[in-house]
Structure 1
Amino acid sequence: METSAARTTGMVLTTMAGFNFATEERHCSEHGAYTAMKTPVGWSDCTMCNAKRQQAERFRLEAEASRLTIMRQAEVPLRYHGKTLDNYDASNEGQGRALRVATEYADSFATARAAGRGLIFCGTPGTGKTHLAVGIMHQVLEAGYSARFAVVLDAMQAVKSTYRRDAASTEAAVLEKLTAPDLLVLDEIGNQYGSDTERMILTNVINNRYNAMKPTIMLSNLAKDKLGAELGERVIDRMREGGGRMVIFDWDSHRGAHA
């Protein structure tokens, strides 16, 4: 590893615990003189520089652990914990446009939160919709807002499970988890069973958030027209109110390209 140290005096042998070690006095441009020791992998660096690097690594590991904890608390699937706006592959025009929309939304989330402005990402599977949505969540959570990720089918099943007599939770408690956060990401809309009960629950969640001026990001593999038929044009219209945008992901899936 290269350092800012420079050799200043000749090498000497130092005896420690019965062993001879080669040492020499060197100079660190930041911390001044220090004694370097010859090791099997080369000369040791400035001890203060080493301490700073070790501290920086500890901070990095602590920040990573905190980030993972926050992702788990937001119920983001493990596969997407590391997905950020910075590592999204925008190699074609459509991906670049989608990234710009996501970045602008994340950067101005305070405004989006005040206006209750949401986003809709829909179209071809495997094109990065979830990646971008989780990337937005990373930035929103780091800014101190609350956010939650929910796969629609799982959310519907969680609500319907409260209808059992031995249910451990109530419908109100499950719905509160979806309506309370500053940002909700609803993934895989259209993959649920499509019953009238599910449509009613989903519409209820979206409308409650709409009335509370809380942004929602909706993700679906359905084409625009089919998504409108699934949710109803009233829901789509509300999602686009206040500057909300719909981004169509119509390029090829990236998953097969990496098979």
Structure 2
Amino acid sequence: MSECEICGGVGLVRVKSDAGLWVSRACECQESQAEDLRIKSARIPNKYRKCTLDSYWIDFTNAHESLNSALRTARKFVDAYPIDTKGKGLLFVGANGLGKTHLAVGVLQRLIRERGVQGLFFDYRELLKHIQSSYNPQVQATELEILRPILNAEVLIIDDIGTQKPTDWVWDTVAYVLNARYNGELSTIITTHFPALPAGKGQLTDPEKAAREISLGDRIGDSMLSRLCEMCIRVEMSGGDFRQSVKRASFGS
């Protein structure tokens, strides 16, 4: 890496303060390196590193209006953070291929670069496996040590919540994480392809169970779904596969 032409690689520059005194402050190159380090520390997968709000392209034929509305909500959230969001997060709900993860990562990257946020990205299944690893005697970390960054991250993305088969341990773990973040007034951004509806009530026959669409309430429990709806702004997304539409538009077909 070549030396910065402004600071000569030391990371500091001398500027005059409002009081007319010469003071030192971090050079822009140093600030840029700090941003890059925060992005790297956020554990954003490589395939999502280029996902920004500006690159969420929906200018294609038959794009559903809900996608444009979701993008507007994402931008407003960034503009309002952290004063007006007051610990609220975002819950992106919709079928696969609508760009839910793209928007979630786009929000996190903007917050990291523009607000200096310390964030974390976890796929839901990866998150549960990460926590379970504390039970492995070869892992030199306790469950609390593994959970601490997840519980304390200023902004946490949980991608594709509900994909893990529900068990008592899964429900208890999800409840612990979400309740801790709710009580700490920390923003959590969540994506799911399950409809954000309660579990089916009453006794259902096998054909009725097979015909009924599985809901997020079925996967994480109704009490946690209620908590999610309380701690997040719900963003419903509809339409055809966003990724396939963009590919077709890119090739001009």
Q: CA separation of 1:77/1:63 partners in 2, compared to 1, >3 Å: closer, same or farther? A: farther
Q: 3-state DSSP class of the match of 1:116?
A: coil
Whether 2:122 is the aligned partner of 1:150: answer: yes
**What does residue 179 of structure 2 align with?**
207
TM-score w.r.t. the length of structure 1 is: 0.70
| Structure with more relative contact order (C-alpha pairs < 8 Å, separation 6 or more) | 2
Q: Is the Cα contact below 8 Å between 2:196 and 2:225 reproduced in 1?
A: no
Q: Take 2:110 and 2:30, find their aligned partners in 1: how far apart are those partners? A: 18
2:56 to 88, 91, 109: 88
Q: What is the 5 A alignment of 1:114-193? A: 115-142=86-113, 143-193=115-165
Deviations 1:56-84 (A, max 9, x none): xxx99988765543322100111111111
Count how many residue pairs are aligned between Structure 1 and Structure 2: 202
**Is 2:233 aligned against 1:245?**
yes
What is the aligned-residue RMSD (CA, Å)? 2.5
Aligned-partner Cα distance in 1 for 2:28–2:51: 17
1:211-255 CA-to-partner distances (Å, cap 9, x unmatched) read 11111111111122211232233323333337x321122211123
Structure 1 segments of 4 or more deviating over 3 A?
59-69
| Structure 1 portions without partners, runs of 5+ | 1-53
1:70 counterpart residue number: 38
Matched residue type, 1:246: R
Residue 198 of structure 1 aligns to a residue whose secondary structure is helix
TM-score normalised by structure 2 residue count:
0.72
Q: Percent identity?
A: 27
- Identify if the C-alpha distance between structure 1 residues 86 and 231 changes in structure 2 by more than 3 Å, giving closer, same or farther: same
Question: Greater share of strand residues, 1 or 2?
Answer: 1
Give the 3-state SS of the residue equivalent to 2:135 in structure 1: coil
- Counterparts of 2:67 and 2:133, CA distance in 1: 38
Given that 2:94 and 2:194 are in contact with CA atoms closer than 8 Å, whether structure 1 keeps it comes out as yes
